[in-house]
Chain A
Amino acid sequence: MAEDNFFQEKQTRRDFLNYILGFSFFALLSAVLYPIFLYLKPPKAQEVDVSNLKIAKTTEIENGSSKMFKIGNKPGILIRTNEGEFKAFSAVCTHLDCTVQYKKDENLIWCACHNGRYDLNGKNISGPPPAPLTPYNITVQKDEIFVSK
């Protein structure tokens, strides 16, 4: 509203100052609005929703295969057993924090670092792992698989 008042007063001496003021006000306004506009645009990465992390579609995963996913800052592993059952665990080996993998031929979870083995219930069955893998809960809605801690 300050500007409105200025427009009414017709004094050419002031024009320069007014231009500077007007210009820099708009510049500042855009400096304020620029981050806000960028902020409003949702980022590509999936929004955090740890309580219900959508990790895969049932059609993506065949029986006897696995898929890695990210939960928080740590890797997780989703396994579909030969019987078609879904299981999800933290993929962090309890021995030295390596990332474990599913071994189809032996039908178990395996850590390449020290040959640690876990069965498909996450229980450590051989090798150095001192504790079982942390299991996650799985819910399947239609054809989408959700994982929660």
Chain B
Amino acid sequence: MSIFSKLYHKIDERFQINDLISFMKKKEVPLYRGTIWYYFGGITLLLFIIQVVTGILLLLYYKGSADIAFESVQFISAKVKFGWLIRSIHSWSANLMVLAAFIHMFSVFFTKAYRKPRELSWYSGFILLVLAMGFGFTGYLLPWNELSLFATKVGTDITKTIPFVGEYIMNILRGGEEVTGATLSRFFGFHVALLPGIFIFFLAAHLIFIQRQGMAAPEDWDEMSDKKKINIPFFPNFMMRDLLIWLIIINVLSILAVFFPWELGKKAEELAPAPAGIKPEWYFLFMFQTLKLIPAKLSVIDGEVFGVMMFGLAGLFWFLIPFWDRKTPRGKKWYWINYLGIFVIIFILVFTIIGFIT
């Protein structure tokens, strides 16, 4: 009919796109109360793509060296046309991405979508979340402002409490004993080269898994009558819904970027006294707050060491959930794993809120 059809036909001739489309058409997505949770993976992906695009754009002007990092960010947001927008979107999108990833993870957790055969999706997803937090932690320092410098000092200091290897890890992270210009260079490297490299690998795996295995149906899907079971094809129906939500997210993002441009703060000075109210990024806040509340000494063990070890164990436990929770006994809707999930959410919420208030 048109140029586009001809073009499409020519490409199809060579790459068999129709096969791909028919594969995607065949793939079905269950439509029910919980379908909304399926979108969060896609939202996270969109935000990651935005991060990559804006990140590359920022890279054109950013300079990762302590004496000019701050000035170069200032230059981006003041002198470069729409630099303020790119930077603001990068910052906002980063935070929304971590938030979306958290929601995505908990939705998978409560729908038990991590069970066989999707254990690897869970493992790779967990690693992606940790990497995303790593992106956040390293990216936070890059503008080299007062708050980020001290947040990084506190953040990297915690690694010191890890038994045996803590000192070594801290030195690796900081590029020395203290948080200095060397730390900035390292974090810049982690942020734009090391982490993206690892991230892309796990992301590709994660996406291939979902395409191979399709969306996980809810627990009681098999028991439902066929009448109630509604499936929609992944393409184009679900994809269009995804698109709709992506557009809304893009709009929300631009509203946030225009109305609440990300502040730059004061340039960091290594010798300046710590400013009041240093807080890490909000997604580290619950850990930060918990460590603060643990008493300094717990009988023989150091409070902070204990806290870090507990978080390490809890993380490992959470990571290995598909291993602990292989099968639900039939007919038992509530299982200890749900209580655990609710407890974790409440714990994170409460300590994040305490962290914000104090």
- The interface of chain A, by Cβ under 8 A from chain B, is 1-5, 7-8, 10, 28, 35-36, 38-43, 45, 47-51, 72, 149
Contact = CB atoms under 8 A, between A and B. Distances in A.
B85 interface: yes
A146 B304 CA distance: 48
A36 B61 CA distance: 13
B81 interface: yes
Contacts of A40: 57, 60
Contacts of A36: 57, 82, 86
B167 interface: no
Majority DSSP secondary structure for residues of B touching A: helix
B176 interface: no
B74 A48 contact: yes
B313 interface: no
B345 interface: no
B270 interface: no
Contact of B5 (A7, A51, A72): A7
B240 A2 contact: yes
Interface size range on B against A? 20 to 34
B68 A51 contact: yes
Contacts of A72: 71
B188 to A, nearest CB: 16
Contacts of B239: 2
A38 B81 contact: yes
Given A4-B8, A7-B5, A39 B240 contact: no
Given A2-B239, A4-B4, A48-B72, A35 B60 contact: no
Contacts, number: 67
Contacts of A42: 61, 80
Given A39-B57, A39-B82, A43-B80, A5 B1 contact: no
Given A2-B239, A7-B8, A48 B75 contact: yes
Interface of B: 1-2, 4-5, 8, 17, 21, 57, 60-61, 63, 65, 67-68, 71-72, 74-75, 79-83, 85-86, 235-236, 239-240, 243, 247
A10 B57 contact: no
Chain B CB within 10 A, most for which of A41, A48, A72? A48
Contacts of B8: 4, 7-8
Contacts of B1: 7, 10
A5 B236 contact: yes
A8 B4 CA distance: 10
Given A2-B240, A3-B4, A47 B60 contact: no
Given A2-B240, A35-B85, A35-B86, A45 B67 contact: no
Contacts of B17: 4
B75 A47 contact: yes
Contacts of A43: 79-81
Contacts of B243: 2
Contacts of A38: 81-82
Nearest to A2: B236
Nearest to B4: A7
| 10 A-B pairs closest in CB distance | A35-B82, A48-B71, A38-B81, A48-B75, A51-B67, A43-B79, A7-B5, A39-B82, A4-B8, A45-B79
Contacts of B85: 35, 39
24 contacts: A2-B243, A5-B21, A7-B2, A7-B4, A35-B82, A36-B57, A36-B82, A38-B81, A38-B82, A39-B80, A39-B85, A43-B79, A43-B80, A43-B81, A47-B61, A47-B72, A48-B63, A49-B63, A49-B68, A50-B67, A50-B68, A50-B71, A51-B65, A51-B68
Contacts of B5: 7-8
B211 to A, nearest CB: 14
